[in-house]
Structure 1
Amino acid sequence: MKLMIWTRDEGFTDGEFRDGDIFQVHPDEWEPGAKEKQRFLVIEMPDFSGDWNELVASEYGVGAGAEPEIRRMRKYRIDYAAKLDPEEVAAAKDPQQTVEPIMGRFTLSDIARK
């Protein structure tokens, strides 16, 4: 499977995307376009036998008036920087640079529950 990883913090709250959040999950045969390679870090890893929707699910809490509100935009993240060299990390965070998908460096154990 291929994961699109968010590589920047969108804002100040956990209701927004944070660095390392799993943004989308795609099958192995999916090929990212030029915009995806600029905006996201795409990594390939072994297939997850569970429900892929779980990897991109938000976490909800109880808000005002007992209404559900997003506690975290994504439940799961990947610490991608630990497996990339400094130049690769800088390129992944720069929305003007195109980064080719990373293969063979990540395993399912790299997926972490926040």
Structure 2
Amino acid sequence: MRVSCHCGNVTVSAPEPEQVAICNCSICRRYGARWAYYPPEAVQIRFDRKRTEFYQWGDRMVEFHRCPECGCVTHYRTNQRCDTAVTAINMRLAEPEWLATVPVRHIDGASY
């Protein structure tokens, strides 16, 4: 499966997920993302013109990446501060018709 930001600068590819997750933590609810989680080696990220920029907050274990041209949040990665290596793709970048068919898991990240 391949998704891209609005301007096409960032393309993210990975196997099609079996489900997507909606988290209600303070940042995920603001991004409005639906995440698909992968081991980092299963995800390919390509840049056409500019590399992504990222934002960290709180414990600084997660880097939320966005396209510097159109601003779309494309993915996040855990870094060396986190015990688990994860790359999550923002599946809101996928076609709505496909996204409507995928099971959704709700995560109560606001309680952490």
- Structure 1 and Structure 2 fold alike (TM over 0.5): no
Structure number with larger C-alpha Rg: 1
Between structures 1 and 2, the one with greater helix share: 1
Between structures 1 and 2, the one with greater strand share: 2
TM-score for both structures, normalised by structure 1: 0.29
